[in-house]
Structure 1
Amino acid sequence: MMLPGGAMLILLPMLCLLPGASWAATLGGLGDTILGPKEFRDVANFSTFLLDQSSGMLYLGAKDAILAVDTNKPNQPPQMIVWDVPVDKRKSCVAKGKTEADCNNYIRLLEFLGDGRIYVCGTYAFDPQCAFLERSSFTLEKSEDGGVKMETGKGKCPFEPSQHYTAVMAGGTLYTAATSNFLGTLFDISRATGPEQERIRTERSINWLSDPEFVSSAFIEQSADSNPTGDDDKIYFFFTEVAKEYDLYTKVKVPRVARVCKSDVGGMKTLQRRWTTFLKAELVCEDKPSGQRYNILTDVFTTQHTPGDPSSTHFYGLFTSQWQREEVSAVCVFSLSDISKVMDGPFKELKKTCENWINPEPVPTPRPGQCLNNALKAEGFESSLKLPDKVLTFVRDHPLMENSVTAAPLLVRKGITYTKLAVTQTGSEEGPRGAVLHLGTDRGELHRVAVVGQNATLLQEIPLFSSQEPVNNILLHQGRALVGSPLSLARIQAEGCALYPSCEVCARARGLGCVWTTEGACRPTTEEPGPGDMIDDALRKCDIQEGRCTPSIREMQVSKGLRLLLPCIQLSPRPCSWEHPPHRHTRQHHSDLEVTVTEDSLGVYICTCQEAGPGFREPTPCRRAAYQLTLKDPTSGGAVATAGGRHVLAIYILFFCGGLAFGVFLICFVNRRHSIARQGHHLPDNSLSSEKGRDLLGSSATPQSPSSASLLSEGFRLTEKRNGTATTTTSTTLLSSQGNGGHHGNSYSGTLIHNNPSNGHGNSLYANCNTSSSELKFTEILAADMLDGRTGEREKGNLNGVEREGDDVDEGLGDGVEQGIKGLEDELASFPMFKSPAPLAKCEESSI
């Protein structure tokens, strides 16, 4: 039998190659592709994507570079343009107090101009600059002196790489929401290009923008066929800001949607070069039964439920909560018609005398903030320059609407942070049957969730990148999803029932029109599901013989004193409850349950969540998970422990004798050298230098980071990955037995990536596969599929600062080896020739 230490030395090189192996295993069967740092020639900090839908050419903005990838031929080397900052300008930026990492040129804007060129803007060492890229030759336009032809990017591009920012091109004119000064204290929503007299922006007032974090923007162009009133085109901006309407001690953040009109050119006297149509309203994503509100907007995806009909536009918003201590993500959808109704409703006003918000009276005519239409033009208001001062004064003081745009969450996931969102509509021509949410996580994963009516079902959890690479871009193109991180790009299949390789996952997609066939494949179908729960009926046809709301009981053999976390995946915003034996040794973490094992805590545990019923009005209970805790047989564990103890004793005696013999040999060797030296013989100096002596020291002589706490004792969620630890079984395996997921795969991590918060997006990532680093840890994850009567026997050992897994016999051997080596080190250290200062740990500087 191989010793644990030897096995560990063999496993460590394999772990360095684990990310690449995992990618190949995860995506190889789908014919998909992942491009990493090797293919991108170590270009990093990808932050901006621009896709040509006709040709499939994807343009990527990165640090000091612009790349072009042909998504139809992703294996071809990407084209690259280097656009960096001169050395003297970088030094000047650093002298102003900025970091060297930030004083580069981070490409934050890529937009098509319509004349075969792309408008490119970068931070350019805190002095934003813009240039023009010729698509045909893929080169930047040159000036007369041979350098890059540039123009100022102030107001078009942020100064700092990590600042929140959004921009959209509308009819060849650029509209942006960004900071407008070096310090990042001034914020503007502006028309950034076009004729100089038409470049207008927001008023510098906290009533207009109050410390905003811009998220997204969308241009809604009116259709000529469905616009009989001649209404103007509009641009919508989504952001989170500090609310001024709430008089509270704590700064309350609220999500907003703001609207401006395309033909707005400002006022004649009042609001000169300022928006006259700027209105904003609060977005409310709230689950009313529980009262939980999600108030921080992180991403927005815009789509038309009916292609070609702008009035069918819906905005899917990704939210989190300011008040939740743990990770939580929610998705709400808002329709364009609901936003328009709120913008046409009453205004909110702050009365200066009593500091209370009331409805303003009276509202002047024509209505403040109204876009130009045929009726206004007939009254003589052909331009915003002709609007009366009383109308402009009113809209200047009342940009906020009284009513809010409200929606209930489609999805709530606790314990997970989603970063990006894209939506695929599915169904027949009569109307959409449902939607698939493609959700990127902060740990490099892509999750797919089916939403049919008011019920959400987790379909897949796909690991794409390293756990330290958050997903920061998702684009949909010809049935595929282009998923990006600061270091990598993935192209994976995004549409079709063929995505779901097993009967269980296909059954969960029944609401999307998928069915498992007798040929063993998931295929689309036009057959309408029968009455009752369509997913439950489809799951019963699979071999597992259990439905979505009738999971089988998972038996778990545990030992006394063990702390474990029983997972229950909650997709509905409604609460979950647990049935368990009557004792006080449990604590609920959102939908999961923490249990401390005692005699009283043994028994059956059942998690039941409330979901939308058949009529989508009254919630119905759905059993999500069921476990049975039993005490493992103590006799088998004792026998193993006894056998392990004998092995430990034998190995310790063996190492002690070997160390003693080696010590005697060294003493004889030293005495012989001394005697020869006294006889006047001069031999070459082969004594160990201090550096060589250090090399002989064991790893215990070097400061090591403390071992990771066991997940069994800390009660972490099964889906968590900390410090790049590799989890041998993901939570999706457990989800399949609960009717909430079906992707069977191994998550991975072998690359240590360190975040530098001062760089472009907090993602200046540096890869390192140093097997001796104290950051490389092995963490044991408790999953129901792994237990199988071995829960109490799986413990963690530690050898040379690296954590490992094994049974009691292996652990005993490991302890014997460790103690034997330590005894040998103590004996060696007793000789003067081995006494030397302990070496400093790597990356540690001496204070002397």
Structure 2
Amino acid sequence: MTPGGVVLILLPVCYLLSGASAATLSGHKDIMLGPDKLEGVANFSTFLLDQSTGTLFLGARDAILAVDINKLNQKPRKIVWDVPEEKRRSCVAKGKTEVDCNNYIRLLEFLGDGRIYVCGTYAFDPQCAFLDVSSFTLEKVENGGTKMETGKGKCPFEPSQHYTAVMAGGTLYTATTSNFLGTLFDISRATGREQERIRTEQSSNWLNDPEFVSSAFIEQNADSNPTGDDDKIYFFFNEVAREYDLYTKVKVPRVARVCKSDVGGMKTLQRRWTTFLKAQLVCEDKPSDQRYNILTDVFTTQHTPGDPSSTHFYGLFTSQWENEELSAVCVFSLSDISKVMDGPFKALKTCENRISPEPVPTPRPGQCLNNAMKAEGFESSLKLPDKVLTFVREYPLMENSVTAAPLLVRKGIKYTKLAVTQTGSKEERRGAVLHLGTDRGELHRVAVVGQNATLLHEIPLFTSQEPVNNILLYKGRTLVGSPLSLARVQAEGCGVYPSCEVCARARGLGCVWKEDACQYTTAEPTPGDMVDDALRKCDTTEGRCSPSTRELRVSMGLRLLLPCFQLSPRPCSWEHPPHRHTRQHHSDLEVTVTMESLGKYICTCQEAGPSVRDPTPCRRAAYHLTLEGPSAGGAVAIAGGRHFMAFYVIFFFGGIGFAVFLYCLVIHRRSFGRQGHHLPDNSLSSEKGRDLLGSSATPQSPSSASLLSEGFRLTEKRNGTATTNTTTTLLSNQGNGGHHGNSYSGTLINSNSSNGHGNSLYSNCNTSNSHLKFSSEILAADMLDGRTGERERGRPEGGERESGEGGEVDEGLGDGLAGLKGLEEELANLPVYKSPAPLAKCEESSI
């Protein structure tokens, strides 16, 4: 069948599949509001939810919207708060773009008196206003204008600057930039009485080029606070670590703490924090020695509602050192953070030596006021001794780190936002569900029971260009926002899992499949792997740790990337034929197909066992490679990458040789006697041309430096997108299923998948000027077993070739290279290649 016929057949199938997907999605998603239903407002960045009324306030560009979550079909209310034209022109005159010279609402916080405190960038001159909730209007001054006050220190100047704020007892605490250039940073008490507005010291020991992420107010109560300790505000951010002397800047995640009653010192640290302490957060999997050092989001929750001491912080991390997209989740308890804050202080490290902290004075520096301190006469931070304040100013960093092991790690996926729901009763928690938003508009749900994480399902909500930037939980529903849209999705209960397989994965959360529905049960799971036991009851042989073997029909010389879907951060290993040609990239395995490499490939990952040192093996993927002709089973046929490279070499050398021949002929006629100005010898040997060709008959030895050292560049995976500049690499990023479209252009091929799974890359390159046709296709593993989907729609015309064509290319390859060698020998006899090349003048280097 011709490729065009295949595409015509597959288009209706893909249409039906997409329709089925949309129908399934509607079962998860109650409703979604797009730009057309949100009053044409865009750039939503801030959400504020009134839990009592179900009203969601959205801060956007030049506007504030109010949406009734229970009645999303109603038209939202809207307030326009834009920038006067004159001020906009002044902003542009200062060198800012017209897009940035708007009023981006970055802060929405309840004041507790029926008003909302609203702050916006206001064309790089932050301003704040007061929103009356009952009338949904901004307060006015006598002349009818909006009542405003300065927002400096409360709101960032630039729309894209990292920023966080939290309201504590009607007082606003912020972490933001404090100048127009964005070079000064403050953690401050931004509202309240003027004499109590304090901030951090302008010292790199306190804040060193920080990127603020999140903040939380932990209010103490009498039951969990017998010592009468003060309420605290926690700030999470990344900063450049001064304690590491390396060749590059090392970013580390931090947690900082200040006390609500802190009003600064009397002489030392006047109007500065006297309780500012910070510690490093470490999200590390020790068995695999992997550390994730960039914090991107934090979700704060109480494991026991009403008990502040049970507060846990779920952190979303990535890595500064990884080339591909990577996301990890670690959870830190409030008690662990408190222990580190009560521990030793870190020595100050300078360029020449390390200055150890002086003996810790009494009362302990950075300690919040408690009953014992008040009994000693320290009713206020203004009465603290100077030696205590001096110590805090010099040593705000703690020696120990707050350490946690990751709950899950996803490669090729970039998570942007995180929310967590606890499952089970208040007395007996079964586990947690992580609601993770991606940068491609998806919502992923992962069940965490103990130390094991299981992916439940992935829900596409928005377009791939709309990253999820807000997730809120409200009465069993998830409110998911992007810069352009808002979606309401059912979040809690076993009923959100639509199939037996998905319900079985949630078995650890107390879900069972009964009467064609997923229902909650209090029955304890059976011994052994409860998820696998539940999966076996469904009409499938696919288990979490017992996947079915996928048959892949391959051709000689292909390069495949066999995916191994890994949730646990612990390492994965592969079983494969002994005489194989492979290289492992993280959990995936790259295979070059030869006769010796055919057979079974099994990936086994380590899950969390009874202890960290006792992991449990879990089979994640199984493949069986069999040899077949280049056209089989609905898969795209392959003209090997060697053939493409052969044509490329012929065309390239031929073009160079013809151009050189013409140029030399002109030079020979015009300046026959001028032999001292010949061009340098730029000839290319045909042997070098041969080195660019891959060979499946002589696979690379295990001691070789790289699989791709013969002119092949490694395909890069970044955020679910695979990009390659060669057309001989075969890859798949298939993880947990799914199909996604691809785009292709020339020999630069991009596959953009919404969740990093199921990429299929192929290309058809034509050179219209030379009338030579180069054909090469890059095949994914999930195409080889006959899978179809959106990939098939992107297959170019003429993409499928018969097996005989590949043979013709092989037969002509030797003649082409022989002709090139003869052409080179003939060119070498020309006078222009026989005379020495002139030497360039030496220039003194300034380095």
TM-score category by the smaller chain? 0.7 to 0.9
Query: Mapping of 1:397-412 within 5 angstroms?
Result: 397-412=394-409
Answering whether residue 471 of structure 2 is matched by residue 470 of structure 1, we say no
Q: CA deviation at 1:250?
A: 1.1
Q: Which residue of 1 aligns with 2:125?
A: 127
TM-score (norm 2): 0.76
CA offsets per residue over residues 383-407 of structure 1, 9 Å max, x none?
1111111111111111111111111
Q: Percent identity?
A: 80
Of 180, 201, 206, the residue aligned with 1:182 is 180
Q: CA deviation at 1:8?
A: 8.4
Query: Mapping of 1:678-717 within 5 angstroms?
Result: none
The question of whether the paired residues in 2 share the 8 Å contact of 1:166 and 1:176 is answered with yes
Q: Which residue of 2 aligns with 1:495?
A: 492
User: Structure 1: how far apart are the matches of 2:487 and 2:81?
Assistant: 24
Answering whether residue 240 of structure 2 is matched by residue 242 of structure 1, we say yes
CA offsets per residue over residues 272-291 of structure 1, 9 Å max, x none?
00000000001111111121
CA RMSD of aligned residues (A): 3.4
User: Structure 2: how far apart are the matches of 1:241 and 1:450?
Assistant: 31
Work out which structure has the larger RCO, using CA pairs closer than 8 Å and 6 or more positions apart in sequence. 1
User: Structure 1: how far apart are the matches of 2:70 and 2:17?
Assistant: 24
User: Structure 2: how far apart are the matches of 1:247 and 1:2?
Assistant: 62
Cα gap change, 1:449 to 1:353, in 2 (>3 Å): closer
Amino acid at match of 1:545: T
User: Structure 2: how far apart are the matches of 1:141 and 1:20?
Assistant: 48
Q: Which residue of 1 aligns with 2:266?
A: 268
Q: CA deviation at 1:496?
A: 0.9
The question of whether the paired residues in 2 share the 8 Å contact of 1:564 and 1:715 is answered with no
Answering whether residue 619 of structure 2 is matched by residue 623 of structure 1, we say yes
Alignment length (residue pairs): 690
Amino acid at match of 1:442: D
Q: Which residue of 2 aligns with 1:82?
A: 80
The question of whether the paired residues in 2 share the 8 Å contact of 1:453 and 1:616 is answered with no
The question of whether the paired residues in 1 share the 8 Å contact of 2:109 and 2:117 is answered with yes
Query: Mapping of 1:143-158 within 5 angstroms?
Result: 143-158=141-156
Q: Which residue of 1 aligns with 2:254?
A: 256
Answering whether residue 528 of structure 2 is matched by residue 532 of structure 1, we say yes
Q: Which residue of 1 aligns with 2:479?
A: 482
Q: Which residue of 1 aligns with 2:582?
A: 586
Amino acid at match of 2:125: D
Q: CA deviation at 1:186?
A: 0.2
User: Structure 2: how far apart are the matches of 1:561 and 1:197?
Assistant: 75
User: Structure 1: how far apart are the matches of 2:328 and 2:618?
Assistant: 20
The question of whether the paired residues in 2 share the 8 Å contact of 1:260 and 1:279 is answered with yes
Answering whether residue 575 of structure 2 is matched by residue 572 of structure 1, we say no
Describe the SS at the equivalent of 2:165: strand
Q: Which residue of 2 aligns with 1:515?
A: 512
Query: Mapping of 1:426-441 within 5 angstroms?
Result: 426-441=423-438
User: Structure 2: how far apart are the matches of 1:48 and 1:19?
Assistant: 35
The question of whether the paired residues in 2 share the 8 Å contact of 1:23 and 1:34 is answered with no
User: Structure 2: how far apart are the matches of 1:30 and 1:333?
Assistant: 27
Q: Which residue of 2 aligns with 1:561?
A: 557
CA offsets per residue over residues 279-324 of structure 1, 9 Å max, x none?
0001111111121111110000000000000000000000111111
User: Structure 2: how far apart are the matches of 1:168 and 1:386?
Assistant: 27
User: Structure 1: how far apart are the matches of 2:77 and 2:778?
Assistant: 42
Of 438, 442, 452, the residue aligned with 2:439 is 442
Describe the SS at the equivalent of 1:32: strand
Q: CA deviation at 1:622?
A: 1.0
Q: Which residue of 2 aligns with 1:832?
A: none
CA offsets per residue over residues 641-662 of structure 1, 9 Å max, x none?
9xxxxxxxxxxxxxxxxxxxxx
The question of whether the paired residues in 1 share the 8 Å contact of 2:302 and 2:310 is answered with yes
Q: CA deviation at 1:78?
A: 1.1
Describe the SS at the equivalent of 2:264: coil
Cα gap change, 1:246 to 1:532, in 2 (>3 Å): same
Query: Mapping of 1:147-296 within 5 angstroms?
Result: 147-296=145-294
TM-score (norm 1): 0.76
Amino acid at match of 1:27: L
Q: Which residue of 2 aligns with 1:603?
A: 599
The question of whether the paired residues in 2 share the 8 Å contact of 1:18 and 1:749 is answered with no
Where in structure 2 are there 5+ consecutive unaligned residues? Answer: 638-711, 724-730, 744-775, 806-847
Q: CA deviation at 1:731?
A: 9.4
Q: CA deviation at 1:714?
A: 7.3
Amino acid at match of 1:202: T
User: Structure 2: how far apart are the matches of 1:553 and 1:574?
Assistant: 23
User: Structure 2: how far apart are the matches of 1:493 and 1:780?
Assistant: 42
Describe the SS at the equivalent of 1:390: helix
User: Structure 2: how far apart are the matches of 1:420 and 1:19?
Assistant: 29
Q: CA deviation at 1:431?
A: 2.7
Query: Mapping of 1:636-785 within 5 angstroms?
Result: 720-721=720-721, 735=736
Where in structure 1 are there 5+ consecutive unaligned residues? Answer: 642-711, 724-729, 737-744, 751-778, 813-848
Amino acid at match of 1:600: E
Please identify, of 168-177 and 71-80, the stretch whose mean Cα deviation from structure 2 is larger: 71-80
Q: CA deviation at 1:590?
A: 1.1
Please identify, of 569-578 and 164-173, the stretch whose mean Cα deviation from structure 2 is larger: 569-578
Amino acid at match of 2:547: P
Q: CA deviation at 1:249?
A: 1.9
The question of whether the paired residues in 2 share the 8 Å contact of 1:795 and 1:805 is answered with no
CA offsets per residue over residues 682-737 of structure 1, 9 Å max, x none?
xxxxxxxxxxxxxxxxxxxxxxxxxxxxxx997666983579xxxxxx9999626x
Q: CA deviation at 1:142?
A: 1.0
User: Structure 1: how far apart are the matches of 2:68 and 2:253?
Assistant: 36
Of 101, 104, 122, the residue aligned with 2:102 is 104
Q: CA deviation at 1:805?
A: 9.0
Please identify, of 114-123 and 535-544, the stretch whose mean Cα deviation from structure 2 is larger: 535-544
Describe the SS at the equivalent of 1:338: helix
Answering whether residue 448 of structure 2 is matched by residue 451 of structure 1, we say yes
The question of whether the paired residues in 1 share the 8 Å contact of 2:420 and 2:434 is answered with yes
Cα gap change, 1:805 to 1:433, in 2 (>3 Å): farther
The question of whether the paired residues in 2 share the 8 Å contact of 1:718 and 1:731 is answered with no
CA offsets per residue over residues 29-65 of structure 1, 9 Å max, x none?
2351111111113211111000011111101111111
The question of whether the paired residues in 1 share the 8 Å contact of 2:562 and 2:732 is answered with no
Q: CA deviation at 1:539?
A: 1.6
Describe the SS at the equivalent of 1:38: helix
CA offsets per residue over residues 307-365 of structure 1, 9 Å max, x none?
0000000000001111111111111100000100111111112266952253x231111
Q: CA deviation at 1:795?
A: 8.5
The question of whether the paired residues in 2 share the 8 Å contact of 1:417 and 1:442 is answered with yes
Cα gap change, 1:189 to 1:495, in 2 (>3 Å): same
